[in-house]
C-alpha cells in the first residue's frame, strides 16, 4: 500500500469513527427529547393547568428547542463527513485506476 493510500485509509477510518460518534450523539439527543416530551405529558396530566406546569412547560420547550438545534448541527456535520468520505473514496478509486 502506497503512502497516499495509507493516509486515505487512515483518514477514512477517522471519518468513520467521527460519523459513528455523531450518530450515537444524535440518538442520545433524540432519546432525551422524547423522554422530555413524555415527561411533560405525564406532568401535564398529573398537575393540570397549574402555574407550575406552565413554567415547567416553558423550560421543557426551551430544552427541546436546544436539543433540536443540536440534532440539526449533528445532522449537518454528519452530512459533511459523509461528503468527505465519498470524496476520499472517489480519490482512492481514481488512484487505483
Contact by Cβ (8 Å): 29, 92: no
Nearest to 84 by CA among 35, 14, 34: 14
Listed in sequence order, the residues at least 6 apart from 44 whose beta carbon sits closer than 8 Å to its beta carbon are 53, 57
**pTM exceeds 0.85:** no
Contact by Cβ (8 Å): 70, 29: yes
Radius of gyration from C-alpha coordinates of the chain: 21
Residue 5: per-residue pLDDT: 81
pLDDT band, very low/low/confident/very high, at 49 (cuts 50, 70, 90): low
Domain locations in the chain? 3-91
Quick: pLDDT tens for 13-32. 999 999 999 999 999 999 99
Amino acid at each position: 500500500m502506497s503512502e497516499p493510500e495509507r493516509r486515505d485509509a487512515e483518514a477514512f477510518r477517522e471519518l468513520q469513527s467521527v460519523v459513528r460518534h455523531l450518530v450515537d450523539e444524535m440518538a442520545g439527543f433524540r432519546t432525551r427529547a422524547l423522554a422530555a416530551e413524555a415527561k411533560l405529558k405525564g406532568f401535564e396530566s398529573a398537575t393540570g393547568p397549574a402555574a407550575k406546569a406552565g413554567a415547567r412547560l416553558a423550560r421543557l420547550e426551551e430544552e427541546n428547542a436546544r436539543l433540536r438545534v443540536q440534532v440539526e448541527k449533528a445532522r449537518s456535520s454528519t452530512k459533511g463527513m459523509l461528503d468527505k468520505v465519498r470524496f476520499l473514496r472517489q480519490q482512492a478509486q481514481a488512484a487505483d485506476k
